[in-house]
Amino acid sequence: MLTRSEHRASRAVGVAALVLIGLALAAPVSVLVSQGAGSGLAGTQGDYLLRITRFTLLQAGLSTLLSVALAVPLARSLARRPSFKGRRWLINLFAVPLALPPLVAALGLLEVWGRNGVANNGLALFGLETPFSIYGLSGILIAHVFFNMPLAARLILPGLERLPPEYWKTAANLGMGGLSLFRLVEWPAMRRSAGGAAGLVFMLCATSFTLVLVLGGGPAATTLEVAIYQALRFDFDPGRAVLLSAIQIGLTLAVMLGLRLISLPTEAGDTKGGATDRPDVARGWRALPDALLIAAAGAFVGAPLVAVIVSGLAADLGRLLSDAQFWRAAGTSLMIGLAAATVSVSLAGLMVRARYSVGEPPASVWLSLLSGLSAAAGSLTLLVPPVVLGAGWFLMLGGGAGQLLAPLSVIVLINALMALPFVIRVIEPAHASAMERNGRLALSLGITGFNRIRQIDIPAMLAPLATGFVFAVALSLGDLGAIALFGSDRIVTLPWLLYQKLGSYRTADAAGLALLLGAATMVLMIIADRLGARLGPASWAGRHQP
């Protein structure tokens, strides 16, 4: 409960936060629109735009199809085997790609699937001379399946695990098995989550930047976001970048509307396993197909992670850690991460407070508008991907050449906006719970205004605030999208330094940096996960979902 003055103050700062977010999104988009209004490239580059758009949709569609098609049988096998040794570790392994910086994962995939990687060396033993290339469409698909197949399996699995035992008893009594069991019992239970997972994976792949930049291999495998980066960074062709940005925003909007229609699941659920009376649980050698599928999935996800560790340890870590350039990049990354997390948590807290002060149902039209905009603010930041935002700010700053503070501020702002949806998901349910517990007590003690925020509200919200803060730092630390356009000799982050090492074929140094960056990010994610576990699964399980 809030006093009348607290209601007014909460709504005022909520409006201020929404105005800031709106300006941060509208300013670069307006620049893109104004630049595009004077460009006549739509007709002259129609074939190029069509090819880039078609490839973006093609790789996203194939990645989604492969990820979900593999996740469904994997989820079924895991549901049939709820208590094998190491199951919980495997489920935790499937969460690692979600927290890993894409650039680190790309290096691990190169170690496994590259020209001199484990896969090609293994095939060479059978007389095949490096038959597989990690670059191009095949590499992009492998990378996207590596990231999204475990995510889809984790989203689909709870639907199967929540099926009542009576379903399995009835199926056994009716003699169901194989296809009929899948069609009549399992698929209805996983259909909604599988559809939601497919929509989420498609959006993640359609807006993928780092993986395509590293593994695309050339113009034939270029997506919209990479083409925007190339148009500004290498060709400085603002007109082309504007058209590509407009197409990217339209595509993202269409995907987001599609996600709304298919009702994306928001809870990963409990995946610890348990007893089951399924009639299709085979024993002995008949369990071999499930065992092979689970082992293959574990190896597919685990091999690049092991490769990052092995190749990183083989690098000269001592020399890297004594390099002034590394510490300068680490300091810049940490500064950007801390600043972005501070901005993101502050904006999220203000909007959550404003939405709470509106009440349910809102008492007026403008309060309904405030509540709706506060709820949609997180999704709005997902509408304009980081590279598109960066493109607008890049044009606004004239490329940022010779500048330092302005590009750094833009990078911080973009990272803060990208973390905002996840931070809101963490803070909002915890805030509602804290207000329900402490609201009447604060009023009865006469503690209001800033004193209440300082003495009661913030202490009660320390865990969710810390969770959102650490999570935002981790996201910013591993991000390449925001720095890609503004990276220079004066502005170097760890992901940008790692990308430079890869581009100059200094693979040993890149491996060492990947290990250090991946370890730092994983430590932050583990801290965030431990803090988030205190909030309960309902508020924390959806943290990776737009």
Query: What does 187-234 look like in DSSP terms, one character per residue?
Result: HHHHHHHHHHHHHHHHHHHHT--HHHHHH--SGGG--HHHHHHHHHHT
pLDDT at residue 542, rounded to an integer: 39
pLDDT at residue 494, rounded to an integer: 92
pLDDT at residue 546, rounded to an integer: 33
Q: Please state the pTM of the whole predicted model.
A: 0.84
Tens of pLDDT, residue by residue over 198-214, are 888 998 898 889 999 99
Homologous superfamily of 1-34+315-546 in CATH? MetI-like (1.10.3720.10)
Residue 529: phi and psi, rounded to 5, are -65, -40
Looking up tokens 């803070």, which residue turns up?
427
For the stretch 530-535, contacts whose Cβ atoms lie closer than 8 Å and that sit 24 or more positions apart, written own/partner, are: 531/463, 531/464, 531/466, 531/467, 531/470, 532/426, 532/464, 532/467, 532/471, 534/463, 535/426, 535/429, 535/430, 535/463, 535/464, 535/467
Alpha-carbon distance of 538 to 354, in angstroms, equals 22
Domain ranges of the chain: 1-34+315-546, 46-306
Q: Using CA atoms in the order 506, 510, 511, 512, what is the torsion angle rounded to 10 degrees?
A: 110
Homologous superfamily of 46-306 in CATH? MetI-like (1.10.3720.10)
Helix (H) or strand (E) holding 153: helix 137-161
Q: What single-letter DSSP state applies at residue 174?
A: T
The answer to whether 239 and 39 are in contact (CB under 8 A) is: yes
Which structure tokens are listed for 133?
Answer: 């290339």
Alpha-carbon distance of 410 to 416, in angstroms, equals 10
Q: What single-letter DSSP state applies at residue 455?
A: I
Could you tell me which residues come within 8 angstroms of residue 363 by beta carbon, excluding any fewer than 6 positions away? none
Rounded CA Rg of the chain: 24
Residue 131: phi and psi, rounded to 5, are -80, -10
Going residue by residue through the chain (546 aa), what tens digit of pLDDT does each one get?
677 777 788 888 888 988 898 888 888 888 887 776 555 554 446 788 889 999 999 999 999 999 999 999 999 888 888 777 888 888 888 888 888 899 999 999 999 988 888 887 887 777 766 667 788 899 999 999 999 999 999 888 888 888 877 777 787 777 777 778 888 888 888 888 888 888 889 988 988 899 999 998 777 788 999 999 888 888 777 778 888 888 888 888 888 777 767 654 444 444 444 445 666 666 666 678 888 999 999 999 999 999 999 999 998 999 999 999 999 999 999 999 999 999 999 999 888 888 888 776 666 677 777 777 777 776 676 778 888 888 888 888 877 666 788 889 999 999 999 888 888 888 888 888 877 777 777 777 777 767 777 777 778 788 888 888 998 999 899 888 888 888 888 889 999 999 999 888 888 899 999 999 999 998 888 888 777 665 554 343 333 333
Task: Judge residue 308's burial from the number of C-beta atoms within 10 Å of its C-beta, 0-12 exposed, 13-18 middle, 19 or more buried.
Answer: buried
Alpha-carbon distance of 255 to 257, in angstroms, equals 5
Decide whether 1-34+315-546 matches 46-306 in CATH topology.
yes
Q: What single-letter DSSP state applies at residue 284?
A: G
Alpha-carbon distance of 145 to 490, in angstroms, equals 35
Alpha-carbon distance of 177 to 182, in angstroms, equals 8
Alpha-carbon distance of 4 to 6, in angstroms, equals 5
At 335, is the secondary structure helix, strand, or coil?
helix
pLDDT at residue 360, rounded to an integer: 66
At 129, is the secondary structure helix, strand, or coil?
coil
Q: Which amino acid is at 215?
A: L
Alpha-carbon distance of 492 to 497, in angstroms, equals 6
Residue 123: phi and psi, rounded to 5, are -65, -30
Q: Give the side-chain half-sphere CA count within 13 A for 401.
A: 6
